Structure 1
Amino acid sequence: YFPIYEKIFRERGIPEEIKYLSVLESSLNANAVSRAGATGTWQFLYEVGKIYGLAINDSIDERKDPVLAANAAASYLLDSYNQYGDWLLAIASYNCGKNRVKWAIEDSGGQKDYWAIRKYLPAETQNYIPAYIATVYIMNNYQKHDIFPEAGYLTEAETIPVKSVVSFEEISRQTGINLNQLSYLNPSYKRLIINGTETSPKNIVIPVLPTYTYNSLCKMLGLPGRFVPEPKVPEKAAAPATTYFIVYYVQEGDTIASIA
C-alpha cells in the first residue's frame, strides 16, 4: 500500500512518513475492525467515514478500499493540520478526535504543541504519538535490530472503472482470475458484486492480464481496451548484385592496365 499512500500524500502536501500511521492503526490489514467499529487500513469510524465521502452500505464499505480510504485519511489530516498548524497535533486528533485536541489546547492555555498539551489528552492519545514515532523508527531501521519482514502476497495489478453491475464470478469466468484473488485485491465489496453506473463508476483491481484477455474483459464491460499496434511487415531486402566472371588468356604485350 505504501506506493499508493506516497503518491496521494505527495500530491496533497502531506509528509510521506505519515504513511506509517496506517501501520499503527491497522497493521495494514484492510479487513481490520476495532472494538469501536473502526474499519480498514485507516480505521475510519462509520460517521467519520461518511463525512469524508466514503460509501458504506449493504454492498460496499469503502473504508476497506486502499485508495479511497487513504484519500479520506489525507483529507482528515489536512483539515486537522490547517486547524492546528502542527502535524503531531493532526496525528493526535486522528486518534482522539479534533474536539479533544481543541479542548486540550484550551486547557493548556492555548499552546499548540503536542508535548505541551499531552497531559490534557486522553490516556490512549498520550501514548499514541510515542507509538507513532516508534513505528516510524522501526519501519526505517528494522535491519539494525535483526527484524526482517515476512514475504507477503505481491502481484502487479491495474485498476479498471466499472460502469455497470457485474459480479466477481463473471469477471473470474471471463479472465480466469481466481475468485479468492479478486476478493483479496478488492476487500471493499461485501457481496462480491460491483454496482457501478455511468455517472458513478466503481473501480476493481485486477492482476495485470495479457492484452487479449484484458481486451476481452473490457469488451464485456463496455470499455475501450488496450491499443494493439499493427505488426510491422518487414521490408524485402534488395537482391544482391550479380557478379560476372570471364576467363582471359594473357597475350604477349599485355599489361595490367590494358587487361583492366
Structure 2
Amino acid sequence: YGLKRNWYVDERRDPEKATHAAAKFLLDLYKDFDHWYLALAAYNCGPGRVNRAIRLHHTSDFWQLHSLPRETRNYIPYYLAAAIICSDPTSYGFKTPKTKPHKYEFVQIEQSADLTVLASSAGVSLKTIKAYNPELRQSATPVQSAYQLKIPIGKKDQFESNFNSLPSDQRFAPQYVAHKVKRGESLWTISKKYRVSIHDLAAVNKIRNRHRLSIGQKLTIPVRRSSGGTLLVSNSGPSGHKKIKYKVKRGDTLGHIAEDYNTLARKIRRWNKLEYGQPIFPGQKLTIWVKEDMGQLASNSKKNRDKVVHIVKRGDTIGHIAESYRVASINIMSWNNIKSKQTIYPGQKLTLWVKNNNNSSNSVAQSSNKGKKVTYTVKRGDTIGHIADDYNTTVKNIRSWNSMKQSSYIKPGQKLTIWIGSTKNSLSKNADNLKIYYTVKRGDTLSKIAENHRVRMASIMKWNKLNKANTIFPGQKLAIWIKQG
C-alpha cells in the first residue's frame, strides 16, 4: 500500500501515512467481502481466517462465525461502541479533549544528513525532530535520494539560513563505510561486525544470492550513528582507550576477564557482539578496550601500600589473586610486567602492593622485647616462611634478626637466630600482618585455603568465628591475616 521500509525509513511508523494505508486496506477488504462487519473482522484477524470461518459455518453472517478468535469476535462490538460514542460524546458522559493541531512544514534535504545537525539548524532538540519524523529509523536521513523533512511551523527560514551556512562536509556526512570481502567472510560475519542485519546489507548492495560472495568484492555498509553523530563501527572504542586482543584460556569467564582488565562484563559483550548467557570457549579472541593511562595509574597505586610477594599456586588466576588481595588485576599485571597474552604458572612470584589498614609503626622490636633467643639450623627443604610458621613469628622478623636482605636465600646448615616470646611474634592482627578477604570457590576446603595462605586452619576458623560443625560455601568471604614478606 505504498509504505516504504528500508535501512533508513519505515513509513509504517508515520501515523498519517499509516492511516491512509490502513484506510485503503479496509476499503479493499470491503470490496472483497461486500460487508463492513466482515471487512472489519478481516482487518483484525486476516481475510484468510474469515474465509475459512465462512466455509466452515456455511454463512456470511458475522454473528454466526463462532470459530473466529475471541479477540475478533469482540473487536466488532468495541468498534461499533466507539463509533456510537464518538458521534455524540457528551450524551455518554465523555468530554472531547482540547488538543493543539500538529502543524509542520517541509524542508527538502538533498543528501544524507545527520539529525543532530538538522535539529541544531532548526533551533529545536533532537527529540523534537524525531517526534516530527517518526518514520526515520536511524539518526540520519536516507542516502541516494532527497527527503522531505518535517520541522515545526515557523522554523523554515531559520533552518535554511543556518543549514546553508554550514560547510558541505558538516551538512552531508556519509552514513556508510566500504568493506572489502576477505577469505572466509560471509554476509553473516560481516553483518555481525558492523551491527547491521543481513537483510539490510543485501538490500543496500542489491545481493540476490546471500550465500555467494567473492573475495575482494566491495560492499557498502550502512552504519548506525549515535545521538552525538559518531559512527558506531565495531572497531571504534571509547576515547582514551586502546584496543587489545585477549585469547580466552581454559577456565576463563567474562567476569574474571572483566576484572583482570578493570572493566565490566557487559562492555565486553557489547564490544564482541555477545548475547547475555552466550558462552565463551578456549582459544576465542575477544576485543577489549583498556585505558591508555592504566600503567600510570598502576604506578601511582603503590602509595600508602605494603609490598607482599605472592607465590602462584595451581589453579590461581590473576583475577582470583586480585580478588583475594582486593587490588585491581591490571595493577598486578603492571607491577609484574605481565602482558595480556602471558600466563602465570605455579611457583611464580608476584609482587603485590596491598593497603595496610594499620597506622602503627612497622619497626621491629628491640632486643629488650625479643624474649628468649633460639638458634635454628636450616634443613633441606626449609623456607623462611615455614620456619616462621613453626615458631609463630613472621618472615620479616626473621630477616631483621639475621640481617638478611629481601632477596636473600637460606641454605641447609645455615644458623638462624630466632627470638621466642617476642611481642612481635604473635600472628594476631598486628602491624606485621595484612588483612585480606578470600572468596571461597567451588572445591575449596579450609585446609586447602590455610595451606595456600600459609596460616593455620584453626586461625581461619577463629578469625571468622567458625566451628567444626560449620561448612564453607562458594561465594563466602573469609577474613585472613597474612604475614608480609
Q: TM-score range by the shorter chain?
A: 0.5 to 0.7
**Aligned AA (2:93):** D
Q: Secondary structure at the match of 2:48?
A: helix
2:88 corresponds, among 135, 138, 141, to 141
For CA contacts below 8 A with separation 6 or more, give which structure has more relative contact order. Answer: 1
CA distance in 1, matches of 2:134, 2:92: 33
Please give the secondary structure, in 2, of the residue aligned with 1:158: strand
Partner residue of 1:175 out of 122, 139, 150: 122
The Cα offsets for residues 55-79 of structure 1, whole Å up to 9 and x where unpaired, read as 3445332211123212321232122
Contact 1:175 1:213 in 2 (8 A): yes
1:116-171 deviation digits (Å, cap 9, x = unpaired) = 43x23211111100010111122222222332244446442123444421122111
Name the CA distance, whole Å, in 2 between partners of 1:204 and 1:181: 12
Structure 1 counterpart of 2:67: 120
8 Å contact kept, 1:171–1:217: no
Contact 1:164 1:196 in 2 (8 A): yes
Name the one with the larger helix percent.
Answer: 1
Q: Does 1:76 align with 2:21?
A: no
Q: How does 1:20-99 map to 2 (within 5 A)?
A: 52-99=1-48
Aligned equivalents of 1:215, 1:58: Cα separation in 2: 26
**Residues 162 and 196, structure 1, Cα contact 8 Å, conserved in 2:** no
**TM-score, structure 2 normalization:** 0.31
- The question of whether the paired residues in 1 share the 8 Å contact of 2:105 and 2:156 is answered with no
**How far, CA to CA, are the matches of 1:169 and 1:149 in structure 2?**
37
Q: Structure 1 pair 60/210, CA: closer, same or farther in 2 (3 Å)?
A: closer
2:134 to 178, 187, 192: 187
Who is 1:244 aligned against? none
Same amino acid, percent of matched pairs:
31
- Asked if residue 206 in structure 1 is aligned to residue 154 in structure 2, the reply is no
Q: How many residues align?
A: 167
Secondary structure at 1:194's aligned position in 2? coil
Query: 1:217 & 1:92 partners in 2: Cα distance?
Result: 51
Further displaced range: 142-151 or 82-91: 142-151
Cα distance in 2 for partners of 1:217, 1:85 equals 54
Bigger strand fraction: 2
Q: Partners of 1:211 and 1:53 in 2: how far apart?
A: 28
In the alignment, structure 1 residue 158 sits paired with structure 2 residue 105: yes
Q: Secondary structure at the match of 1:120?
A: coil
Distance 1:210-1:68 versus aligned 2 partners, 3 A rule = closer
Unaligned ranges ≥5, structure 2: 169-485
Deviation by residue 1:89-133 (Cα, 9 ceiling, x = unmatched): 111111100101111121232x3342343x232111111000101
Compared CA separation, residues 86 and 216, structure 1 to 2 (3 A): farther
State whether residues 14 and 133 of structure 2, in contact with CA within 8 Å, keep that contact through their aligned partners in structure 1: yes
Aligned match of 1:35: none
- Give me the whole-angstrom Cα distance separating, in 2, the residues matched to 1:183 and 1:153: 19
Distance 1:187 1:108, change over 3 A: same
Report whether the alignment pairs 1:130 with 2:77. yes
Change (3 A) 1:122 1:189: same
Answer whether contact 1:162 1:204 (CA < 8 A) is retained: yes
Q: What SS does the corresponding residue of 2:88 show, helix, strand or coil?
A: helix
Structure 2 residue matching 1:189: 3-state secondary structure: coil
Equivalent residues of 2:107, 2:156 under 8 A apart = no
Using a 3 Å threshold, how does the CA distance of structure 1 residues 175 and 142 change in structure 2: closer, same or farther?
same
Q: C-alpha displacement at 1:192, in angstroms?
A: 2.8
Conservation of the 8 A alpha-carbon contact between 2:26 and 2:40: yes
CA distance 1:171–1:132, shift in 2 (3 Å)? same
Kindly indicate whether the alpha-carbon contact (under 8 Å) linking 2:123 and 2:159 is maintained by their aligned counterparts in 1.
Answer: no
Q: Matched residues in 2 for 1:212 and 1:124: separation?
A: 50
Q: Which amino acid aligns with 1:204?
A: L
Q: Distance in 1 between matches of 2:22 and 2:109?
A: 24
Instruction: Quickly say closer, same or farther: Cα 1:81–1:156, change in 2 above 3 A.
Output: same
Partner deviation per Cα, 1:12-58 (whole Å, 9 max, x = no partner)? xxxxxxxxxxxxxxxxxxxxxxxxxxxxxxxxxxxxxxxx4433445
Kept after mapping to 2: 8 A contact 1:89/1:101: yes
Provide the rounded CA distance (Å) in 2 between the counterparts of 1:70 and 1:220: 37
Distance 1:197 1:219, change over 3 A: farther
Other structure's SS at 1:195 match? coil
TM-score, with normalisation over the residues of structure 1?
0.55
